Chain A
Amino acid sequence: MAACVWSVRSVRVLSEIIHGHVLPAAAAVRHQAGTSRSLHGARAPAVSARHLKQLGVTSLRSLSQVSLSEEPDALYQKLSVRVKGHDRSVLDSFEFFASLAARELGLSLERAFEPRKHTEKLTLLKSVHIFKKHRVQYETRTHHRTIEISRVTGSSARVYLEYIQRNLPEGVAMEVTKTSVEEIPEHIQKPLWDEGKLEPCGQ
């Protein structure tokens, strides 16, 4: 019992540290008024290094999941997710799930449609010996479903795709196509005849 009380207290302290790290002003205000908390009372959010080591935390920075970087985020004009499967109803439910996820995340769902199914047929002999005229036919059907999302940033696309892929049902394959606008390379930005590099032919 004492151990779990200690762990609860340490978890509470950890949450205080995180909030203190991200929103220092709000944390200070909360601690002024936070005397109603039975475990902490008027305790300050500062925690000793020994306590942190007990919790297995090496640095405060590793606790927060949000990372900031200087380079700009990639922008995609279109994110096309194509799923293939043998069962049409499984693809129906996956399309519902993916479009719901896109709507909840605030991504603009352009369209969700069903490309034509592909059937692979195999004609084999029915009997082990002779009877060439009697054959048997098997077919493998692959159904497709495409979900197109337009004007999405790189990090949003990564989050959405990770969520979708973690919940992909078994027997379903996914292909992702990202379309982005690139700068024209330097050597073809201006036509050659403008710069006078072309020599007149003939003459």
Chain B
Amino acid sequence: MATSLVRQTKLLSIVTSQLSSAACFRNIHCTAACLKNRAARIRVAKGDKPVTYEQAYHPHHIGHRKGWLSQHTSNLQGEDGAAERVVEDVFIRRFMYGTFHGCLADEIVIKRRGNLLVICAVMIQKLLPSKFYFLIGYTEELLSHFYKCPVKIEMQTVEEKVVYKYL
């Protein structure tokens, strides 16, 4: 969350510098705004909407009741490369969502160990196993060519989406 905000502040600062250099002196507020009350939350409704464990707990529960979806070292003190990792993560999530359309049971977990990129996913048994194998090989091959690093997919299949509660 904070890393995407940092990226937004970087973009905003670039825009402000361009604007101020072009001799127009309008002010833009430079802090990224985020609605903490509504971010990554599914609001309580009638009681018929199924919700997974990941969706049920709010972002302030990360570290206490939830784990991290993307594990890398660039957000630690004294480490850099956070913005690049965020962009890679966003691309990988969209790629997986599109490649395995309708098969994802829950959010993808992305782990980085040295040069290796591990994508852990839980899928619904919607396709034949041979089709899953083909898509896994295709994803691994394409992503390793894009990012110039070994990419591994660890997949687990489930009969249907695991519901934690109904909101």
Contacts and interface: CB of A to CB of B under 8 A. Distances in A.
Contacts of B32: 124-125
Q: How large is the interface on A (under 10, 10 to 19, 20 to 34, 35 or more residues)?
A: 20 to 34
Contact of A126 (B1, B34, B113, B114): B34
A125 B113 contact: no
Interface string B119-156: 00000000000000000000000000000000000000
Interface string B15-40: 00000000000000101111111000
Contacts of A85: 76
B31 A86 contact: no
A120 B78 CA distance: 11
Nearest to A84: B76
Contact of B77 (A120, A124, A170, A172): A120
A171 B72 contact: yes
Interface string A114-136: 00001010101111100000001
Given A86-B68, A86-B76, A125 B33 contact: yes
A84 B78 CA distance: 10
B interface majority secondary structure: loop
Given A87-B63, A170-B111, A124 B79 contact: no
Contacts of A42: none
Contacts of A87: 63, 68
B62 to A, nearest CB: 9
Interface residues of B, number: 26
A127 B77 contact: no
A136 B38 CA distance: 12
Nearest to B62: A86
B2 interface: yes
A126 B71 CA distance: 26
Given A86-B68, A124-B5, A168-B113, A173 B33 contact: no
Contacts of B33: 124-128
B76 A170 contact: no
B118 interface: yes
B31 A125 contact: yes
Interface string A158-176: 0000000000111111000
Contact of B35 (A120, A128, A168): A128
B86 to A, nearest CB: 14
Contacts of B75: 86, 140
7 contacts: A84-B79, A126-B36, A128-B35, A136-B36, A170-B113, A171-B112, A173-B79
- 5 nearest A-B residue pairs (beta carbon): A171-B71, A170-B111, A173-B73, A136-B36, A142-B77
